[in-house]
Chains A and B, each alone.
Chain A
Amino acid sequence: DQVLHIVPETFQQVQHLQQLCSTLLLDLWKPQLSEDIWAGEDLHIRVPAPLVQEVKDSLDQHMIFYKVLIPDVQKLVDQSMPRERSSHRQVSEGYVYTQYHPMEVIYQWMTQIQKNNSELVTQHYLGKTIENRTMYYLQISQPSDKTKKIIWMDCGIHAREWISPAFCQWFVKEILQNYKSDPKISRFLQNLDLYILPVLNIDGYIYSWEKDRLWRKNRSSHMNGTCYGTDLNRNFNSSWGSIGVSYNCSSEIFCGSGPESEPETRAVAQLIERKKSDILCYLTIHSYGQYILTPYGSTTKPPSNSEELMHVAKQAAAALMGKHGTSYEVGSTSSILYSNSGSSRDWAHMIGIPFSYTFELRDKGTHGFVLPPDQIQPTCEETM
């Protein structure tokens, strides 16, 4: 739709414009009523998109000069709208995967996803957060008589990395939309089960929506309530507390009071420990930096299967680049990023899961944690 600005010069032009407005039922913004259109006075009319050309032709025919005041009304409307918060409309087929969603909506989405895809998807209780919220993961599993190996993926271990839960949601959608038609995906599901945890650090995620966009840790309280938050990715039992951490609660990399001190860490660790003999691959999604990180962060000594780990990761990075040209660096955390201990990825590998990777999604710092929503789609597409 466009809004045109016209200053009619003669009475004849005024009459023509009045006729145009009443015949085509155009939306007068200024003046409000057709009777108030005068020669020499500003006229603003909103013309619906399908009629734009017809109206302009008619104006040209009558030598009525006009200017386009607003070339795209919808764009202006969208820009001026505050983000919608929880909205039932947004779940299921209407769900907008190219927008960031608050936790309330993600909970609804999980329920809907299971409902709409009950032959494949089951929602499972994982545990409770420190603020007593329920953690759920989705199991995508094609019924079959053989036991399948498992791929585990968790998102949102760090609250501010919003692109991460957005990716988990996208991933689930892609699998469910295409498993019948895409031979690769269908073969995948014949042999593998997918366990997806869309938001691991639920309390932190909510806090980043409501109070502090750049919050990272969970919301456990320390020092008599004067300090909050443990870095969940320093809290796992993999060389816990040895390097790249702080023992001070006020730090962003505070490793907690002990390994698995946090309920969120325990909830994840317990499940993975239970199923570890069937888990082939552990993936944990973060941002930003554009890296595919292999174990370890706590030491530069390479893991036993490091060649294979690197080979697979390099192939992943190449495939990713093929989509939108985005380059991801591949290597162990301790060699290409920094040293850290207590990470979930290190722990998963140490207990015997052969393929364990951390993905650091877009970008390289230009937007950092605050990645604009128009990058959700390309980021998710290439990571897929």
Chain B
Amino acid sequence: DINGVGQKYHLELVLEDVLDKDSTVNCTAEVLYHLGNNIPPDVQFTIEGELKNAEEADNIFYNRIKSLEKELVAENIPDSHGNVSPEMEPVHLLAWVASGYVIWQNSTENTKFQLAQIKRVKQVKRSDEYLEFDYTILLHEMVSQEIIPWQMTVLWHPRHSVQVTQDSRQPKHASE
């Protein structure tokens, strides 16, 4: 508890690779929630060791999307039964990463967000080397149990990190 500033938490955690459960990495982090909860929490972290290299898979996905004749469009990932087709896996993973940013920017000590589903994703044509996707995702907030639609514009290229260039909370019925 830091008087006049907020609450600071020291965390020791283990990161697990979603695609390879045996691949783990230790991590320590410091999270500072500001008083008033109108600013996103400050996060500092260090990772022990290296994260796995995904260059090959990244390039395969990148080239596949670049070679599509029409811009990618998809809905309901995963579907009602929890299935994600293999072609949509990378689209799903990209949304997951990007939603992490949105969640971070909107978290307080009293929220617990998870990505519930991608409602819609549309690729946006670009003249440069980047891939751009316009996502409407559904976030589940554990305490209120609400499902919150959120729009986010995601930019990506294999040699650059994921960027969320624009995001906005949507009204409840935006997902219908």
A214 touches B85 (CB 8 A): no
B116 partner, pick from A79, A252, A338, A369, beta carbons under 8 A: A369
A231 touches B145 (CB 8 A): yes
A371 touches B145 (CB 8 A): no
Q: Does B159 contact A (CB under 8 A)?
A: no
B144 touches A253 (CB 8 A): yes
**CA A338 – CA B80 in complex, angstroms?**
27
A214 touches B140 (CB 8 A): yes
Q: Is the interface of A mostly helix, strand, loop or mixed?
A: loop
Interface window among A104-112, A187-195, A258-266, A360-368: A360-368
Chain B residues in 8 Å Cβ range of A369: 116, 140
Q: Does A30 contact B (CB under 8 A)?
A: no
**CA A100 – CA B83 in complex, angstroms?**
12
Chain A residues in 8 Å Cβ range of B115: 368
Chain A residues in 8 Å Cβ range of B147: 214, 252
Sorting the interface of chain A by its residue count into under 10, 10 to 19, 20 to 34 or 35 or more gives 20 to 34
B117 touches A214 (CB 8 A): yes
Tell me which of B81, B82, B114, B147 has the highest count of chain A C-beta atoms within 10 A of its own C-beta. Answer: B82
B82 touches A213 (CB 8 A): no
B80 touches A251 (CB 8 A): no
A252 touches B81 (CB 8 A): no
Q: Does B154 contact A (CB under 8 A)?
A: no
Assuming the contacts A213-B117, A214-B116, A214-B138, asked whether A370 and B144 have C-beta atoms less than 8 A apart, the reply is: no
Q: Does B54 contact A (CB under 8 A)?
A: no
Q: Does A372 contact B (CB under 8 A)?
A: yes
Sorting the interface of chain B by its residue count into under 10, 10 to 19, 20 to 34 or 35 or more gives 20 to 34
Chain B residues in 8 Å Cβ range of A213: 80, 117
B142 touches A338 (CB 8 A): yes
Chain A residues in 8 Å Cβ range of B140: 214, 368-369
A370 touches B145 (CB 8 A): no
Q: Does A83 contact B (CB under 8 A)?
A: yes
Tell me how far the C-beta of A302 lies from the nearest C-beta in chain B, rounded to whole angstroms.
22
Q: Does A209 contact B (CB under 8 A)?
A: yes
B78 touches A370 (CB 8 A): yes
Assuming the contacts A369-B116, A370-B116, A370-B117, asked whether A209 and B145 have C-beta atoms less than 8 A apart, the reply is: no
Chain B residues in 8 Å Cβ range of A251: 144, 146
**CA A367 – CA B81 in complex, angstroms?**
10
Q: Does B18 contact A (CB under 8 A)?
A: yes
Chain A residues in 8 Å Cβ range of B145: 216, 231, 252-253
B82 touches A371 (CB 8 A): yes
Q: Does B143 contact A (CB under 8 A)?
A: yes
Contact string against B for A residues 291-314, beta-carbon threshold 8 Å, 1 for contact and 0 otherwise: 000000000000000000000000
Chain B residues in 8 Å Cβ range of A209: 80
Q: Does A373 contact B (CB under 8 A)?
A: yes
Chain A residues in 8 Å Cβ range of B82: 367, 370-373, 375
**CA A99 – CA B83 in complex, angstroms?**
12
The 4 closest A-B CB pairs, nearest first, are A372-B82, A365-B114, A252-B145, A370-B82
Mind listing 11 A-B residue pairs with CB under 8 Å? A213-B80, A213-B117, A250-B172, A251-B144, A251-B146, A252-B144, A252-B146, A252-B147, A365-B114, A369-B140, A370-B116
* Chain B residues close to A by CB (< 8 Å): 18, 78-85, 114-117, 138, 140, 142-147, 172
* Chain A residues close to B by CB (< 8 Å): 79, 83, 99-100, 209, 213-214, 216, 231, 246, 250-253, 289, 337-338, 365-373, 375
